Amino acid sequence: MEVLKVVPRGYCYGVVDAIQVARRLAKDPQARRPIYVLGAIVHNRHVVDDLRALGIVTVEQAGASRTELLEALPEGGGTLLFTAHGVSPAVRERAAALGFDVVDATCPDVERTHALIRELVATGREILYIGRRGHPEPEGAMGEGRGRVHLVEGVDDLNALEAHTPLGGRPLAVVTQTTMSLWDTAAVIAEIRRRHPEVEVYNEICRATQDRQEAAVAAAADADLVIVVGDERSNNTTRLVEVVRTVAHRPAYRVDGVEEVDPAWLAGLHRVAVTAGSSTPTHRTREVIAFLEAYEDAPPATPS
């Protein structure tokens, strides 16, 4: 099997920084124990398992906000690590009030988005934040807005918002979640502009996300199939699969690792492209590539 190794792929600098912060903290004898991470440091269970082995406790609960996770921690303090996705000012204030030492691993791109939202709100803007409901990044970003940041996933959300909060005549701005893509956001931004031509649009999609998606689409043009390595909870991993299917019009599958590669996908194929989400450990992707490079399609059975 010929394997096209998509570049860039895998860890972005924000993920690398967050993991390094966590590992340094685990080795720091001065850090107050226990050490908690409020939500997964990045959306990959293998990274979370590695940190657990170092003594870092990841606090997670499906559907729970960062505030709810914080309030569920036992009394007695310790050290609290904020993830790459960022948190709201309310979470920061509450963590301090509860007596935790705080270490912040927020991605610099997310920090810039928070600063932009604060600036826009201070100048009187109402903000339409294009992001994914249930993802931790919108939760933190919207917390900067004092009730004036509205989550919009698509046109349906825009319709529902305008039915209850008329936006005409208000100064408006659009801000995007960093792990979205231009393809994800184009349709809803176009509709917002149609309704509100004066809107200010701020594309906060991080360069790493866009570069990885563009590289995957480009590689897909020369491949029979694209395999994306990453955790099912990773938004950017899911997006890589979707843009290959919808933009490049090529089949694509997400796998957590080599054990999830289905040989039935490979039957009759000659060239497969491999990429990975920005929170996927490198060795997981290398194992998939090695499997594919060694793969040989079974020859047809010889009639007896």
Residues identified as active-site: 137
Rg from Cα positions in the chain = 22
